[in-house]
Amino acid sequence: MVSWLTQGLIFYVVAVTAFYFVLFVIAARQLRKESGLQLIQYEDVLHSTFTPPLSILVPAFNEETGIVASTRSLLSIHYQEFEVIVINDGSTDQTRDVMINEFAMVELKGKVQWSGLQQPTQPVKGIYRSMRHPNLFFIDKENGGKSDALNVGINFSKYPYFVSLDGDSVLDMDALIKVMKPIVEARPGEEIIATGGSVGIANGSQISSGHLAAGAVALSRNRIVVMQVIEYLRAFLMGRMGLSKYNLLLIVSGAFGVFKKSWVIEAGGYEVNTVGEDMELVVRLHRLVKEKKSKARIVYISDPVCWTEVPENLKVLHRQRTRWHRGLFESLWKHKKMFLNPRYGTIGLISIPYFVLIELLGPVVELLGYLCILVGYFLDVVNVQYAIILSIVMLLYGSLLSMGAVLLEEWGLHKYSRLSDMSRLFLFALSEAFWYRPLMTLWRFEGFLQALSGKRADWGEMTRKSGIMGVKPPNNPPVAK
The sheet with strand 256-260 has its strands ordered as: 105-107, 124-130, 136-141, 82-89, 54-60, 161-165, 256-260, 192-201, 297-308, 170-171
In a domain, 461, yes or no: no
pLDDT digits (tens, 9 = 90+) for 123-161: 999 999 999 999 999 999 999 999 999 999 999 999 999
In a domain, 182, yes or no: yes
pLDDT tier at 98, thresholds 50, 70, 90: very high
Residue 466 has a pLDDT of 43
Asked whether residue 30 carries a pLDDT value surpassing 50, the answer given is: yes
Q: How far apart are CA 129 and CA 125, in angstroms?
A: 14
In a domain, 14, yes or no: no
Within 8 A by CB and 6+ apart from 456, the residues are 273
In a domain, 303, yes or no: yes
- Nearest Cα residue to 117 out of 263, 265, 278: 265
**Cβ contact 81:53 at 8 Å:** yes
Q: Which domain holds residue 39?
A: 20-356
DSSP conformation letters of 56-88: EEEEESS-TTTHHHHHHHHHTSS-SSEEEEEEE
pLDDT tier at 350, thresholds 50, 70, 90: very high
pLDDT digits (tens, 9 = 90+) for 440-467: 999 999 999 999 998 765 545 555 554 4
pLDDT tier at 481, thresholds 50, 70, 90: very low
Residue 434 has a pLDDT of 86
Residue 467 has a pLDDT of 45
In a domain, 239, yes or no: yes
Asked whether residue 472 carries a pLDDT value surpassing 70, the answer given is: no
Mean pLDDT of 21-40: 74
Helix (H) / strand (E) containing 152 = helix 146-156
In a domain, 444, yes or no: no
CATH classification at residue 197: 3.90.550.10
Q: How far apart are CA 241 and CA 251, in angstroms?
A: 11
In a domain, 339, yes or no: yes
Greatest C-alpha distance within the chain: 78
* Total domain count, the chain: 1
**Cβ contact 109:127 at 8 Å:** no
Candidate ranges 175-184, 311-320, 392-401, 447-456; pick with highest mean pLDDT: 311-320
Asked whether residue 252 carries a pLDDT value surpassing 50, the answer given is: yes
Residue 265 has a pLDDT of 95
Q: How far apart are CA 481 and CA 479, in angstroms?
A: 6
Report the range of poorest mean pLDDT among 35-44, 104-113, 331-340: 35-44
In a domain, 2, yes or no: no
pLDDT digits (tens, 9 = 90+) for 182-211: 888 888 788 999 998 888 888 888 776 666
- Strand-strand pairing, 170-171 and 192-201: unpaired
Q: How far apart are CA 86 and CA 92, in angstroms?
A: 16
pLDDT digits (tens, 9 = 90+) for 267-294: 999 998 888 889 999 999 999 999 999 9
